[in-house]
């Protein structure tokens, strides 16, 4: 079974998005967001190349890809394919300066 590795920054992102959605939409929406994120992580772990590749010079982010969260398309998952699954680097809102949030701006 392919694995999903969540980096600390990605875990923090998910908490921030959950709290924001619970406060500005409602708790069921926030719960649905987390469920869709989990489903999308599972999809990425089995179809590692599905995301759009990003061309970056940063050596630690070589091979980075991005994909949207199902039903929450304004949220982007940045991940690295691995031989045994995927490593989730960040989960960011598309309108954010995600280049800066990724630390490469």
Q: Read off the pTM.
A: 0.92
Q: How far apart are CA 14 and CA 37, in angstroms?
A: 9
* pLDDT digits 0-9 by tens, 20-52: 999 999 999 999 999 999 999 999 999 999 999
- The topology (CATH level 3) of 3-101 is YaeB-like fold (3.30.2310)
- Spatial separation of the C-alpha atoms in residues 52 and 18, rounded to whole Å: 25
pLDDT value at 55 more than 70: yes
């Amino acid at each position: 079974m392919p694995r999903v590795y969540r980096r600390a920054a990605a875990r923090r992102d998910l908490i921030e998005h959950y709290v924001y959605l619970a406060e500005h939409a409602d708790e069921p929406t926030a719960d649905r967001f987390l469920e869709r994120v989990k489903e999308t992580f599972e999809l990425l772990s089995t179809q590692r190349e599905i995301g759009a590749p990003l061309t970056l010079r940063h050596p630690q982010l070589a091979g980075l890809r991005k994909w949207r969260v199902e039903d929450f398309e304004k949220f982007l998952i940045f991940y690295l394919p691995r031989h045994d699954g995927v490593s989730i680097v960040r989960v960011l809102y598309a309108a954010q300066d995600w280049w800066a949030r990724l630390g490469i701006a």
